[in-house]
Structure 1
Amino acid sequence: MTAYLEVTLSWLFKNQKGRDAKSFYTNPAFEKHKEQTIEITSPDCGPSPAALSVEYTHDGAGKIPSLEWKAPASIAASVKEWLLVSEDPDAPLPTPIPHGIYMGIPPEKTRVDNSDFEVQDASECLVKGGFHYLPRRGKVYIPPRPLMNHGVHRYFFQIVALSEPLDKQFLKSKPSREQVAEAIKGKVLGWGLWVGSCERKWS
């Protein structure tokens, strides 16, 4: 996409941002958990909200920010699995764009680093961190690349505590965002949100 086209699209869709009300954590599975209860931060980038340096964007190395989280004791004791969802609520579309969905994160794992997201077995959508990913354009993760001159885009990294593990075959089946939201109904114990942001300007 040329810079001229990007800037034109940004002008046409300048008011098409802020789809927070359709973020993953607003799905019916979270009906009993409206508020965050899990603390999540990034050892790489700092507490939420944080500005993403170029190495965490499409224009740089495209690294995934390291994340670590802590759940209250009342939740932690019951966690059987974690789910991580990354999406852009400021993309000029009706719903947030998923940048990565990671399922089957072991309960004892409360930190992920960029190296965890290296592919171990593409046929099973398995990464070296020991969990599964939902391919996005055939990739493990789509780094942030907001439209030029569209302003700051936020990237929501949502960690979800599950009381039951998801079916192993489901993890390998490349489910959609909506199918994942349906599969976790009745299993959500709590969630947390970390926000990273960036923008691209005409230069």
Structure 2
Amino acid sequence: MISRIIGKLLRGRRAGDRYLLWNELPPSPGEVVLRLASPAFEDGMLIPARYAGKGVGENVSPAFSWSGVPDHAVELVMVMEDPDAPLRHPFVHLIASIPAPIPSGLSEGELSAKAVPPGVTFGLSTFRKPGYSGPRALVAHGLHRYLFQLYALGQPSGLPSGAKRAELVTALTGKIVARGRLCGYFERT
């Protein structure tokens, strides 16, 4: 009951797109577009409840596939942000670094901190936890967008395990050779 009231009171408050990593890292000349997809949901569609966060869903990461990664890419960085959270900055749900050899995707659950694929390094979410934290917006706050952003790098990022969102701009600037994103929606009524 209290969470529903808080969600309604904060309904007009949103972090907005300004501070999304996507917008803080403008494209460089020569950058190519990656295609990022998931069999769990299409771009612009609802994310199934199975992938929602702890206490709402099963908090399992969706499977992902991508194409268009340049041959000279040495690392991928995936970031999931919610720009509709009632905070000053988007809520970070995932920071993951995937080194070469670069796969063509990840299976369901592979972005969980409990089942880390070889070589994958996790930064910390806004919850200060490594790995995937699924959608878990405030009850009655309205529909939220969840942006999965994938960056292919021509040089290693140097991101350490436990890196925070604030470190990403510096770590990725000048190294991005391709990028793509996938947007899903989720709402708690």
TM bracket, shorter-chain basis: 0.7 to 0.9
The match for 2:9 is: 12
Q: 1:79, 1:107 within 8 Å by CA — same for their partners in 2? A: no
Once superposed, what is the RMSD of the aligned Cα atoms? 2.2
The match for 2:169 is: 181
> 1:92, 1:32 → 2: CA distance?
31
Q: 2:80, 2:94 within 8 Å by CA — same for their partners in 1? A: yes
* 1:66 correspondence with 2:63: yes
The match for 1:128 is: 117
> 1:161, 1:90 → 2: CA distance?
26
> 2:104, 2:172 → 1: CA distance?
19
> 1:21, 1:127 → 2: CA distance?
31
> 1:18, 1:118 → 2: CA distance?
26
For structure 2, the 5+ residue unaligned runs are none
- Specify the code of the residue in structure 2 equivalent to 1:165: P
Q: How does 1:20-169 map to 2 (within 5 A)?
A: 20-27=17-24, 29-32=25-28, 37-45=33-41, 47-58=42-53, 59-71=56-68, 76-119=70-113, 127-136=116-125, 137-167=128-158
Query: The residue matched to 2:168 in structure 1 has which SS?
Result: helix
Higher helix share: 1
Q: 2:64, 2:108 within 8 Å by CA — same for their partners in 1? A: no
Q: 2:15, 2:88 within 8 Å by CA — same for their partners in 1? A: no
The alignment's TM-score, normalised by the length of structure 2, stands at 0.87
Task: Flag the structure with larger Rg.
Answer: 1
Query: The residue matched to 2:110 in structure 1 has which SS?
Result: helix
> 2:101, 2:186 → 1: CA distance?
31
Superposed CA offset, 1:115-173 (max 9, x none): 423447xxxxx922531001333342211111111111111100001010123xx423x
Please report how far the alpha carbon of residue 36 of structure 1 lies from its aligned counterpart in structure 2 after TM superposition: 7.5
The alignment's TM-score, normalised by the length of structure 1, stands at 0.81
Q: 1:118, 1:128 within 8 Å by CA — same for their partners in 2? A: no
For structure 1, the 5+ residue unaligned runs are 121-125
Residue identity over aligned pairs, in percent, reads 26
> 1:113, 1:21 → 2: CA distance?
31
Change (3 A) 1:63 1:36: farther
